[in-house]
Amino acid sequence: MEQSELFWLHLAERDGYYTHRIREVIQLPMTEKPPMTEEPWYHNGLRFRCTGCGDCCTGAPGHVWVNKAEIEAIAASLGVELEQFEKRYVRLVGIRKSLVEFPGGDCVFFDNQSRGCKIYDVRPRQCRTWPFWPSNLRTPEAWKEMCGECPGADKGPCYSLKRIRADMAVMHV
Name 163's Cβ contacts closer than 8 Å, sequence gap at least 6.
Answer: 45, 132
Q: What gap in Å lies between CA 118 and CA 133, rounded to an integer?
A: 23
Q: What gap in Å lies between CA 16 and CA 19, rounded to an integer?
A: 5
More confident residue, 104 or 1: 104
Query: What average pLDDT is seen over the chain?
Result: 83
pLDDT band for position 170 (cuts 50, 70, 90): confident
Asked whether the predicted pLDDT for residue 67 surpasses 70, the reply is: yes
Mean pLDDT in residue range 111-137? 94
Asked whether the predicted pLDDT for residue 41 surpasses 80, the reply is: yes
Query: What confidence tens digit (pLDDT) does each residue in 78-104 have?
Result: 999 999 999 999 999 999 999 999 999
Collapsed DSSP state (helix, strand, coil) of residue 113: coil
More confident residue, 27 or 35: 35
C-beta separation of 84 from 91 below 8 A: no
Percentage with pLDDT > 70 across the chain: 78
Q: Which of 7, 4, 11, 13 is nearest to 32 (CA)?
A: 13
C-beta separation of 173 from 62 below 8 A: no
Could you tell me how far CA 134 lies from the centroid of its own chain?
A: 8
Domain boundaries, the chain: 1-37, 46-170
Query: What confidence tens digit (pLDDT) does each residue in 132-163 have?
Result: 999 999 999 999 999 999 999 999 999 999 99
